[in-house]
Amino acid sequence: MRRKLVIGNLKMNGSITANQKLFAGVMAGVADLRNADYALCVPYPYLCQAQSLMQGSNVAWGAQNLCANEDAALTGAVSPAMLVDYGCTYVIVGHSERRIQLHETDDTAATRFNAAIKAGLTPVFCMGESKEERESDWTEYVVGRQLDSIIRRYGAELLTKAVLAYEPLWAVGTDIPATPEQAQEVHHFIRKRVARCNAEVAENVRILYGGSVQTENAPALFAMPDIDGALVGRCSLEAKAFVGICQAANQV
Ligand code: PEP
């Protein structure tokens, strides 16, 4: 039985003052919600704050990217070990905003995925098709290619230490969420594809849906058999909205 997981992706938002309020509100809101798991992925400068405020609570924290290298002459990069130093559980890998705006590729995402696992972090590996790709009926081709970029290199077994996230680009930040049926169809495809390599891993891997998840649409999404939680952007910036999604996960 897979436990639901709700992860907030704060992206490039927040401040010390705003985070204090957000973290406190989320911790208070989920303190008694024991049936699911919760986390916030914060910008690097706030990892220390996340660690000092959230340790001991049932809210984990993580980062939104990492560099695959350890200790290197690489200005501006942050290594897996540095994230471990700050108590991160999760790290988002291959988010579409980084793939598109920062030219990350299947290759770089796969290398980061492996580096995260080697360091003991849980990568949240993002996949998803654009609007044009969906309209051309390429969804399975694109998502399958992204998934294969890690399975082919590292094997399906590594997915026991990872979380997958289906985030259709046309739903991220748009207020046009996938319907529960649309999301379920792709989640089922992803699980079947993992099952081709290892049925047990497929049964246990958590696949999150991301793209305009809100308190209102979360229950119907979470009722789908292959949707194991959510990766939440905008609604993770406000404690009440994020806690509403966590409550929906806790109730399933
Ligand atoms: C995201 O960027 O991961 C995301 C799901 O954003 P939003 O919830 O704002 O659509």
Instruction: Given the residues 95, 97, 133, 187, select the one marked as catalytic.
Output: 95
Residue of 10, 36, 79, 31 whose CA lies nearest to 233 = 10
Number of domains within the chain: 1
Instruction: Given the residues 97, 129, 167, 187, select the one marked as catalytic.
Output: 167
CA of 71 to the centre of ligand 1 (A): 31
Residues 6+ apart with CB under 8 A from 197: 151, 155, 156
Angular region, 180: left φ>0, alpha ψ -120 to 50, beta rest: alpha
252 residues of the chain, pLDDT tens digit each = 899 999 999 999 999 999 999 999 999 999 999 999 999 999 999 999 999 999 999 999 999 999 999 989 999 999 999 999 999 999 999 999 999 999 999 999 999 999 999 999 999 999 999 999 999 999 999 999 999 999 999 999 999 999 999 999 999 999 999 999 999 999 999 999 999 999 999 999 999 999 999 999 999 999 999 999 999 999 999 999 999 999 999 998
We report the CATH number of the domain holding residue 210 as 3.20.20.70
pTM over cut 0.85: yes
Host domain of residue 124: 5-251
